[in-house]
Amino acid sequence: MQRLTVQGVRFAIVGLSATCVNSGVFVVLVHLGLSGVFSTILAYAVAFLISYFGHSSWTFESKGKLHRFLAASLLGLAMNTAISYVLVDAMASPAWIAAMLMMSLTPVLTYLVMKLWVFQQVPDQR
């Protein structure tokens, strides 16, 4: 149980770090005049690297399956892109509103996918 708690806290720290970088890069790029969708893709790429290395080396202490990590990250990217398109590009809402929604919804989804699928622990068969 303690391992699960430590892992959850580590996931939150790595995820929060990646999410803050993602949101910061996103807002700056939109402010510089890039579209919400293009800004989302670039910001997510930066956050992907932070997230993968943080989770594999610290949170789960396992490399996991890179193709699954990529699939989970692309699911998050699709979710963020949809939010960005609807709020920033289609509705002309301020970028910070889209960023707040992305910061609150996407981490929950990706945690579940990472824990249950990407870094799934196989029981020891001893």
Q: Does the residue 125 lie in any domain? A: no
pLDDT tens across 88-107, in order?
999 999 999 999 999 889 88
Query: Looking at the domain assignment, is residue 123 inside a domain?
Result: no
User: Is 73 inside any structural domain?
Assistant: yes
Quick check: is 31 in a domain?
yes
pLDDT one-digit tens code per residue, 43-78: 989 998 898 889 999 998 887 788 899 999 889 889
**Contact assessment for residue 68 and residue 115, using Cβ atoms and an 8 Å cutoff:** no
CA distance 45 to 77: 9
Instruction: Kindly state whether residue 63 falls inside one of the protein's structural domains.
Output: yes
Cβ atoms < 10 Å from Cβ of 42: 15
The pLDDT of residue 126 is 57
Of 113, 11, 23, give the one whose Cα is nearest residue 72: 113
Number of domains comprising the chain:
1
Residue 64: inside a domain, yes or no? yes
Q: Could you tell me if residue 80 is inside a domain?
A: yes
pLDDT at 43: 95
Residue 53: domain span: 2-118
Per-residue pLDDT, 24: 96
